Amino acid sequence: MPFEIVRNDIVKMEVDAIVNTANPKPVVGTGVDTAIHKAAGPELLKAREKIGELKVCEAVATPAFDLPARYVIHVVGPAWVDENTVEEEMLARSYRAALDVAAKEKCKSIAFPLLSTGNYGFPKKLSMRIALDVFSKFLMEHEMQIYLTVFGEEAFKLSNTLFRSVQAYIDENYVSEKTAEEYGVDEAAYHVGSTNLSPRMKARRKEQREYAAEYLAEAIEEDAAVLGAPSPVKPAPSAGKESLSDMMDKMDASFSDTLMALIDATGEKPSTIYHKACVSKQVFSKINSNSHYQPLKATAIAFCLALELDLEEAQELLARAGFTLSKSSLSDVIIMYCIENKIYNVMMVNEMLFEYDLAQIGSK
């Protein structure tokens, strides 16, 4: 996907460019700066000394030397001193300056740390929000793979209000569903020896009985063939049974055809929608050129968000690709929460999924 949050040490990222939170002067600073210089070797500091002093929001590129990247992009972020919007705007300019240098160097991939969150004091959550906003706007105009690297389990958290809201939704939907699935009963009615099965579980048991009967019939037929006895006579197909050709003629529109119709209905350019979905141009081209293309579920969900579909519409589009959102999946429950609360920004949704150690959506 064009944007992904990863839990990794930035010096291990195999990308075209990694971003360094540089000191204004050509010296080795602390935190990420120290780690990058140590991994790159002494030649990096020599290259940095040739550049000289940098201004706040200024970014420059040097070779990456011993790092598994082509370039190190050094950018000086602002300090969080007066805690005002000017400093926030300067941080946004710093993120954008690094991206502009990467684009100038024709980089196809770049890895960022959370800028200015070390000694410069920016709250991690605020730097994260600013980064997502800058990345979203940049990816509307450019094709580049952006990684935001987070090192450590406690790097950032959703706001307390949003986290409690998401967790309450999970408890109400996912936990109760999994309890019912585990015990075969509705959670509220569960007690030892209860026969108050949910309709879903009754249907499941009926399917199991039908499967058992079919399996037994096949076993009897196989035994008869081995023993040389005649096989049971199979009933002739009913006169009203449809042929495969008839059934195919009545198929619903494919995911690809439905998606393109929905995009046309928005009045937006297709590129606007697939950028909002964090889906690469290559994947979108495959979907657009092949009406029978089978997307990954994560890709289909990303388009549901980019198109700002409600839950019923999202389920309908997903069904065209053979998927559904289920309360038995924690990831699906979080997606459902976002759709019901009109949180359609794919990067924000991925932030939530990342916090629960779940796979992010978009296209790989």
Active site residues: 33
Other CB atoms within 10 Å distance of the CB of residue 197: 17
Question: From CA 166, how far away is CA 342, in angstroms rounded?
Answer: 13
Please give the C-alpha separations between residue 103 and each of 11, 67, 144, 282, 340, in angstroms, as whole numbers.
20, 20, 8, 19, 37
Question: From CA 284, how far away is CA 358, in angstroms rounded?
Answer: 24
Other CB atoms within 10 Å distance of the CB of residue 177: 17
Question: Which DSSP helix (H) or strand (E) runs through 261?
Answer: helix 255-266
What residue has token string 């002093």?
53
Question: From CA 343, how far away is CA 191, in angstroms rounded?
Answer: 38
209 exposed, middle or buried (CB, 10 Å; 0-12, 13-18, 19+)? exposed
**Residues 301-331: b if buried by 16+ CB within 10 A, e if exposed:** bbbbbbbebeeeebbebbebbebebebebbb
